[in-house]
Amino acid sequence: MDERSLLLLGLLLVQSQHGYQLNEFIERNLSRVTDMKKSTAYATLDRLCDAGFVDKHMEQEGNRPPRKVYAMTSAGKQHFYDMLRENLSHADQMNFASDIGMMFLDHLSRKEVLKLLESRLHQLQTQVDAYASAPKHRYGLGVDFAIEHHLVHLRADVTWLHSIIHRIKEDESDDGIE
């Protein structure tokens, strides 16, 4: 949640924007970096307002529906830098949903496990291709770093999964249950 605030503040630091604009940008350019949804962005912006980190005011252009324009306050700038330093300097615990499944491997037959993991491997490889072919420099250097970071993890995952599949194939012990 914290990093969602950081993202929104970072975007508002460059220029004031209205909600739709922020969400469009996130959807179009940052879908590989965050999965924050529209309504979460609005809720987070409201919280940032309550905390005094951004100002909100209505604006009307022509006779289009009125828009909420969000602008950084100076307290917000301070908070942005605080959060940024916190974010860059800390390695927070990662958790992988797929590890839960791995825990219960032995409840399925070896054959089925192999089929399932190979399907996962294919999807991973598709993701690798998507990230590898992502266009460069949409929003400064930082996004490229993030994409690269993702690729590193995806490739590590592919290698690991290969190894697991190989070991399960080689494993001549018993066949699992069910």
Partner DNA sequence: ACCCCAATAGTCAATAATGACTATAATGAA
Partner DNA sequence: TTCATTATAGTCATTATTGACTATTGGGGT
d(CA 100, CA 47): 33
| Least distance from a copy of itself to the Cβ atom of residue 49, Å | 20
The residue (of 96 and 160) whose beta carbon lies closer to DNA is 96
| Least distance from DNA to the Cβ atom of residue 72, Å | 16
Considering only residues 51-90, where is the footprint of DNA by CB under 7 A? 61-68
* Helices (H), ranges, 15-73: 19-29, 38-50
Instruction: For Cα atoms 103, 108, 112, give the angle at the middle one, nearest 5 degrees.
Output: 115
| Binding residue (CB under 8 A) for a copy of itself from 35, 61, 170, 172 | 35
Using CB distances below 5 to 8 A depending on partner kind, what does residue 79 bind out of DNA, a copy of itself, none? none
d(CA 56, CA 17): 10
| Binding residue (CB under 8 A) for a copy of itself from 66, 71, 75, 98 | 98
39: contact with a copy of itself by CB under 8 A = no
Token digits of residue 116: 């399932």
Contact 105, 115 (CB under 8 A): no
- The order of strands in the sheet holding 17-18 is 17-18, 67-72, 54-59
The residue (of 22 and 113) whose beta carbon lies closer to DNA is 22
| Binding residue (CB under 8 A) for a copy of itself from 57, 149, 166, 169 | 149
